[in-house]
Structure 1
């Protein structure tokens, strides 16, 4: 740890403090540090990614307990409508469609061009993906959600033995937005 930057070190120490509070919550199986901090690349602009692995998906009460234990608040509402999130969703859908089409990963740089060649995909997805960035945030979110639902339908058609009900229930659940930024320690 001695050769890590100052920005990595203090984020790792904060992650340890957070992990101490979260690891006691029922159902937590593992907690890791991810992203640039885990790779030793963190700078002053880096966030702190702490994926939590569960024996089953946490319910709303468990999520509220975590927020309470950390003396935190939700930074983003669950249905955050940012373009950055749409890019992440598009990349994830792209990876799913690659798998469904049994194709190798060509890099994200060629995502739209590659989508044109896919046999298994939502109709006109390459143009719909591009169009999303021209819509107001709420409309972009709604259109992205439609593409996700269409992709899940395709998964169910191609692999009916897969259970996508957990994903569907998450997508259809109403969430309470929290407008204030994270404040871990007071």
Structure 2
């Protein structure tokens, strides 16, 4: 275990000793970068307290006070309630009820929801490190081990149509970097979702895209380097590089899911380069 992860987990254990004494808390789990082994010098600590009921606002404020915490952000910030600072170190403390967490897991694992927020909850549970109430969390984690095939198919059906290069080619040839990089990034994001589905991996949020891609076994060769290079290459070269990556990804999809409809995705990947029209092809109206 690396140093940045190790000392954050030590801090989590210390805080858990205080949290576990609160009536109503059934489990405490480390989430985020520390649980996934992604911590660096910029990482905070994410703790999730699972309650047998939704805790009240005053209850949560009292807990923050007992932990010696102050709020990092003003009340106008949507992250005010969970974003704490303890000993000048940022700690995100999330309060969730067991019933709500189980409802989210049910939506993903049984109803095959492709909502990315719900899928991130499942990924957090799957990768989390329980420090209290281990039996409860381990039951949840056992449920996440088998990635539903139907969930993968739904993600493929929803995100493969985003493999469309027409507007990217236009932005590249018109020297419109704002449009070009916006479209490029959006297609990268959809590519990430497709590869997660192929590998039976839940959504960890886009901020960990490259770390998770590094872990996936089924992907185009040298993928992370190739994606990063697209932001350094000229737009026309980058568009060609992206086309190659998408083509290789479609081959992986078709090998693993031969019955998956990829016709529109292939149509989008095979878009021709923009045609130039410098002169009118129409004859002027002749007066009679």
TM-score, normalised with respect to structure 1: 0.51
Hey, what's the Cα distance between the residues in 2 that align with 1:175 and 1:127?
Answer: 25
Whether the aligned pair in 2 keeps the contact of 1:77 and 1:177 (CA below 8 Å) is no
Check whether the contact 1:78–1:176 (CA below 8 A) recurs between aligned residues.
yes
How many angstroms apart in 2 are the aligned matches of 1:159 and 1:129? 24
Cα distance in 2 for residues equivalent to 1:164 and 1:80: 25
Q: Does residue 1:163 correspond to 2:261, yes or no?
A: yes
**Pairwise CA distance, 1:129:** 0.7
C-alpha distance 175-99 of structure 1, shift in aligned 2 (>3 A)? same
The answer to whether residue 249 in structure 2 is matched with residue 151 in structure 1 is: yes
Cα displacement (A) at 1:166: 2.3
What is residue 80 of structure 1 aligned with on the other side? 171
Q: Deviations over 1:8-43 (max 9, x none)?
A: xxxxxxxxxxxxxxxxxxxxxxxxxxxxxxxxxxxx
Aligned CA RMSD, in angstroms, stands at: 2.1
In the alignment, which of 93, 116, 119 is matched to residue 217 of structure 2?
Answer: 119
Q: Give 1 or 2: higher strand fraction.
A: 2
User: Which of the residues 163, 166, 189 maps onto 1:91?
Assistant: 189
8 Å Cα contact 2:230/2:238 also seen in 1: yes
1:13-52 to structure 2, matched below 5 A, reads none
Q: Is the 8 A contact 2:195 2:218 kept in 1?
A: yes
Does the aligned pair in 2 maintain the 1:77–1:176 contact within 8 Å? no
Count of aligned residue pairs for this structure pair: 104
Contact map agreement 2:254 2:260 (CA 8 A) in 1: yes
Whole-angstrom distance in 2 between the partners of 1:77 and 1:85:
6
| Aligned residues of 1:78 and 1:177 also touching (Cα < 8 A) | no
**Cα gap change, 1:121 to 1:137, in 2 (>3 Å):** same
TM-score with structure 2 setting the length: 0.34
The runs of 4+ residues in structure 1 deviating greater than 6 Å are none
* CA deviation profile, 1:117-176 (whole Å, cap 9, x unmatched): 001111111111111111000001100111111110100000001121222123223365
Instruction: Say which one has the larger Rg.
Output: 2
Following the alignment from structure 1 to structure 2, what is the Cα–Cα distance between the partners of residues 77 and 90? 12
Instruction: Say which SS state the counterpart of residue 186 (structure 2) adopts.
Output: helix
Q: What stretches of structure 2 of length at least 5 have no aligned partner? A: 1-166, 173-179, 278-288
